[in-house]
Amino acid sequence: MVARLTGVEALFLAGMGAVLGALLSARARQWPSGSARLSGMTAVALATSSLAVAPVTAWAIVLDIRASKQLSMREAERFGPEENGLDTSLIDRVARVIPRRATYGLAVSDGLDPHRASVFRIWALAALLPRRAVADGSSPEWIVSWGIPPSELDASLTDVRVIEPEADADPHVYVGRVVR
Amino acid sequence: MTGDVLALLLVNGCLFAAGAGVTRALGAWRGPRELLTVVATSFLAGAAVFGVLAQLLYVLGFSLSVPQTLAICGLLAAAGSLRVLPASPLAGQPLPSRREWVAAALVAIPLILLAVDAVYQPLSSWDAWTHWTPKARALVELDGLDRSYFASPPYGHWHPDYPLLVPSLEAVAFRFGAGVRVAQLEFWFLLAAFAVALVELLRPRVGPLLTWAAALALVWTPKLGAEALSANADMPLAIFLVLAAVAAWLWISEGSMPALGLVAVFGAAAVATKLEGVIEVAIVLALAVWLALGQSRRSALLLAGAGAVTLIGFIPWRLWTMLTGAPTAYSASSLVDTVEAVDPSRVPIASLLLLRQLFDPAVWLLLVPLALCALAVGALALRRDRVVPLSTAVFLVVALVTALVIPPRSYEWQHQYWLLFVPAVLAGSVLVVAIPRRTRTAGFVVTSVGSLFGALVAFYLFTPYDFAWHLGTSTSRVVTPLALLAAAFAPIVLARASKQGPPGRVP
């Protein structure tokens, strides 16, 4: 939510408000001293600079409310990762496969955009709770891999599920139990 | 949705009850009438104390379930009967005039709009959805601070070394049944209470005109609403830091014991909100102690004592992160590497980008320039010369040109930037030296803001993260405490300049 004005427009409007407020306050009241007048003018300018832009600020909030109101509860909660190009339903489907309280390791293909790979990891950490992610080199009970087929992973997997993303261009997500 | 909002109201009712107990124990009010004059201050004190205690209790292994939360709030509310400090009402309020009611209505309009916005706002800010809110959800899901998650390397994206006040406040809301969708509403409560608390604390001291002018300017500044609704920790940090500074000023100027207690309360909360809170509280309170030293050694010593108490918000948490080996971006070894690889050219780039963000009229309007003018007016009232007005004018022109000319994602140094950097440093340095020599209150503000600015530049100079990424993702947020501090003290400085309100002991 930010006033939809450019810097120059905001400066002009707020500046006009400040100047008008300062001039009006200097004339509208008997000040006991020059310092008091200067203080009063500055204070009123402070308020009127913001009030001059108030209609724009209020309208920006109203527009923001209108746009946000369109979102469902689910969309609003997942807005961050979805805006960053992640299909969060992928992780939902992973959560249906891995039992609660199990441990898992995350592997992401080097061919994926690093930012999206990072979003995948970050969202998975939160969405898969209370399942616990373990560090690389540890021995997890499950492995979640985005874009790396099980045959190319260091560990051998069983019960592998392939989760297909809605976007055709994205690689598959593989979830499998580590064979011990 | 209605159930979520009601759950959040219940949580905030508990925080208010806890805060009312704390402020009464500190002697800020005696009866219900006096409580009405410090309602918002009490609510914020409740949020602050609860947040700090919650972090401490998580470290000690508590889960902060609903019964535990109710018990903590109940105990804090009951603490009001103890009266730790002698009663000395913090804010005796004369009844508002008709004009003041108009001003109050104008203050309420953006706050009401923002409240509606907060209910529907999606969780879109990067830091909010990647670590602040997930940490809160994890505290609930894992029934406490489970070190196998919070101190584990795979969860490094959550910044496990960042303190827990904000996730604790969100976690308690989730415990009471509020969903993630209304998480931003909790931040709105803090912003709204801050605006009202400023009115409560300043109006009896600086008069209605100056108080309402500052309150109006603050609530209508687009950046404050946007920052509150982002559900990041920067706004709560700014709120607690500024209230600690205002409370320190009340202690120094009036010897108010409740204010001294609030320095500890809000300072501890600022420290428990973000890592840089430790440095920022240290800077502001060190300067306040220096100011108090000019009054009396006792005043300075007690203020330093309150400053020491604020470490409750930091030391237990820091010990937990050290003992559990939680991943940290600011480890001693990484700091050594960063210092060795430091690039001095980061100083002007970071300085200009911070200046750009602080003076950006598209989001801050003229809040910061006019707050700076207020400091200059405060200095001019005591000694009329050309140094302060000239330096202020040069600094303002350079800062506004920087805000309008430099692109927000300008991480590469260009030679023409010297034309902005050199005059900004020169004019800024003159102001930091000249204003404290003329007025101690304005001097406190200008040196605080200047030092906080310097600390932020130092953070970026020694950042262990990618420099461009760190600048690009944080400069717009981290300047919030600086702007809020300058704006909140503007009426105080102007009152001193115009001799309005009862004269304090600080000239």
Q: Scanning every residue of chain A, which has its alpha carbon at the shortest distance from the alpha carbon of B155?
A: A125
Determine, yes or no, domain membership for A90.
Answer: yes
| A60 found inside a domain | yes
Q: Do A57 and A108 have their domain in common?
A: no
Same domain, A103 and A47: no
- The pTM assigned to this predicted structure is 0.94
A1: in domain: no
Taking all residues of chain A, what is their mean pLDDT, rounded to a whole number?
89
Mean pLDDT of B330-342: 72
| CA dihedral for A155, B138, B64, B153, sign (positive or negative) | positive
Closest CA to A116 of A147, A162, A143, A93: A147
Q: Which of A70, A87, A119 is the last residue of a domain?
A: A70
- Asked whether residue A102 is domain-assigned, the answer is yes
**Do A39 and A52 belong together in one domain?**
yes
Residue A56 shares a structural domain with residue A20: yes
* A:B CB pairs within 8 Å: 217
Record: contact A53-B142, CB cut-off 8 A:
no
Q: Are B303 and B251 in contact (CB under 8 A)?
A: yes
* Across B58-85, average pLDDT: 91
Is residue A66 a part of any domain in this protein?
A: yes
Residues in chain A with CB shorter than 8 Å from the CB of B373 are 42, 45
Q: Hey, which of A34-43, A138-147, B59-68 has the most confident mean pLDDT?
A: B59-68
Q: A160 and A91, same structural domain?
A: yes
Q: Is pLDDT larger for residue B106 or for residue A1?
A: B106
Asked whether residue B274 carries a pLDDT value surpassing 90, the answer given is yes
The C-alpha angle A64, A66, A72, rounded to 5 degrees, equals 105
One DSSP character per residue, B146-204 reads -HHHHTSGGGGGG-TTS-SHHHHHHHHHHHTT--GGGHHHHHHHHHHHHHHHHHHHHHH
Choose one of A70, A96, A115: the last residue of a domain.
A70
Greatest CA separation for chain A = 87
Tell me: do A104 and A136 sit in the same domain: yes
d(CA B53, CA B19): 12
Give the C-alpha distances (Å, rounded to integers) separating B350 from B277, B456, B468. 19, 8, 10
Residues 6+ away with beta carbon under 8 Å from A162: A172, A173, A174
ipTM surpassing 0.85: yes
Separation between Cα atoms, residue B230 and residue A61, nearest integer Å:
13
Whether residues A77 and B403 touch (CB distance < 8 A) is answered with: no
Among candidates A1, A53, A58 on the partner chain, residue whose Cβ is nearest the Cβ of B229: A1
Residue B123: its chain A contacts at CB < 8 A?
Answer: 76-77, 79-80
Structural domain span for residue A29 = 7-70
Distance from CA of B219 to the nearest CA of A (A): 9
* Closest-CA distance of chain B to residue A41, Å: 10
Last residue of a domain, one of A46, A70, A94: A70
**Domain edges within chain B:** 2-84+100-318, 329-498
Domain count, chain A: 2
Residue A99 in any domain: the answer is yes
C-alpha B358 chain-centroid distance: 15
- Dist CA B341 CA B325 (whole Å): 25
- Residue A2 maps to a domain: no
Q: How many angstroms separate the CA atoms of B315 and B163, rounded? A: 10
Q: Is residue A49 part of a domain?
A: yes
Would the pLDDT of B507 be above 50?
no
Mean pLDDT of chain B: 91
Claim to verify: residue A20 and residue A65 sit in the same structural domain: yes
For residue B472, what pLDDT is reported? 87
Same domain, A163 and A98: yes
Tell me the chain A residues in contact with residue B365 when contact means C-beta distances shorter than 8 Å: 3, 10, 14, 49-50, 53
Contact (Cβ atoms closer than 8 angstroms) between residue A119 and residue A86: yes
| Cα separation, B271 vs A44, whole angstroms | 34
Q: Are residues A85 and A53 in the same domain?
A: no
The percentage of residues in chain A with a pLDDT greater than 90, rounded to a whole number, is 58
Whether A61 and B110 lie within 8 Å, measured CB to CB: yes
Among partner residues B113, B366, B494, which is closest to A49 by beta-carbon distance? Answer: B366
